[in-house]
């Protein structure tokens, strides 16, 4: 899978170099590229502006995002705009994304973005009914949930088939095989 991330803060994505996602990258199952769209700004690295007609906050300008998007080598990507007003992310959506060959995440910031950015987008997705300072944490969450579903990423293919969401309950009792740990003994194991 190839993932491109358009962001103002590529340094925030260092956690994707570790754990399961990092191992998927090492195995060659995943290629992640970061694109700082500030580098595509025409005016002194200026990426935001006041909304036309007034209003609170600053909006991301469309031009740097369009130019960064155009610079990405791509075939037929699924383009995801991280937006608190979008459809809520869930496990079924992660499973759907895991079938894709190319994903592009556009991470917003500030009060919002120029609506013309939506012409690039196939999906507008939210993590839930709250507001983050930007789309970076949402993108990392979605990438982590999706990448673990790609074949060969997790050692046993059946591992994610036992995920709590698929078992219809969230609190499954998990106990290591060792019977007693620091005076704690497993009553069910005796």
What residue spans define the domains of the chain?
2-162
> Among 38-47, 101-110, 118-127, 169-178, where is mean pLDDT lowest?
169-178
Query: What span, in angstroms and rounded, lies between the C-alpha atoms of 155 and 99?
Result: 18
Which candidate in 39, 84, 102, 114 is catalytic?
Answer: 84
Tokens of 63: 């031009």
Share of the chain above pLDDT 70, in %: 81
Tell me what pLDDT residue 180 has. Answer: 61
pTM, to two decimals: 0.84
Taking the C-alpha atoms of 167, 130, 99 and 154 in order, what is their torsion angle to the nearest 10 degrees? -60
> Is 31 a residue of the active site?
no
Is residue 129 annotated as involved in ligand binding? yes
Is residue 155 annotated as involved in ligand binding? no
Tell me what pLDDT residue 11 has. Answer: 97
Strands, sheet with 112-113, edge to edge from the N-terminal-most edge strand: 48-49, 59-60, 112-113
Statement: residue 178 has pLDDT above 80:
no
> What CA–CA distances, in Å, run from 168 to 105, 148, 156, 163?
30, 20, 21, 9
> Among 9-23, 38-52, 113-127, where is mean pLDDT lowest?
38-52
> Is 163 a residue of the active site?
yes
Query: What span, in angstroms and rounded, lies between the C-alpha atoms of 103 and 106?
Result: 10
Under the banding of pLDDT at 50, 70 and 90, the label for residue 169 is low
Query: What span, in angstroms and rounded, lies between the C-alpha atoms of 74 and 69?
Result: 9
Is residue 127 annotated as involved in ligand binding? yes
Do residues 106 and 120 touch, judged by C-beta distance below 8 A? yes
Tokens of 122: 């196939």
Is residue 128 annotated as involved in ligand binding? yes
Which candidate in 67, 95, 111, 144 is catalytic?
Answer: 111
CATH of 2-162, one of 3.30.450.40, 2.40.240.20, 2.60.40.650, 3.40.1280.10: 3.40.1280.10
Under the banding of pLDDT at 50, 70 and 90, the label for residue 168 is low
Which candidate in 17, 26, 157, 163 is catalytic?
Answer: 163
Tell me what pLDDT residue 170 has. Answer: 55
């Amino acid at each position: 899978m190839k993932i491109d991330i358009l962001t103002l803060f590529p340094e925030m994505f260092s956690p994707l170099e570790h754990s399961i996602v990092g191992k998927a990258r090492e195995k060659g199952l995943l290629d992640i590229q970061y694109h700082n769209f500030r580098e595509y700004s025409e005016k002194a690295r200026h990426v935001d502006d006041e909304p036309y007609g007034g209003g609170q906050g600053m909006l991301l300008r469309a031009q740097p995002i369009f130019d960064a998007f155009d610079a990405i080598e791509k075939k037929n990507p699924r383009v995801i705009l991280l937006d608190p007003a979008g459809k809520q992310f869930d496990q079924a959506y992660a499973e759907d994304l895991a079938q894709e060959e190319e994903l592009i995440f556009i991470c917003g910031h500030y009060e919002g973005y120029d609506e013309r950015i939506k012409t690039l987008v196939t999906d507008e997705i939210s993590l839930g009914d709250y507001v983050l300072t930007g789309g970076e944490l949402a993108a990392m969450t979605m990438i982590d949930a999706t990448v673990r579903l790609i074949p060969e990423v997790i050692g046993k293919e059946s591992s994610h088939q036992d995920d709590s969401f698929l078992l219809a309950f969230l609190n499954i009792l998990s106990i290591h095989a060792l019977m007693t740990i620091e005076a704690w003994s497993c009553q069910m194991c005796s």
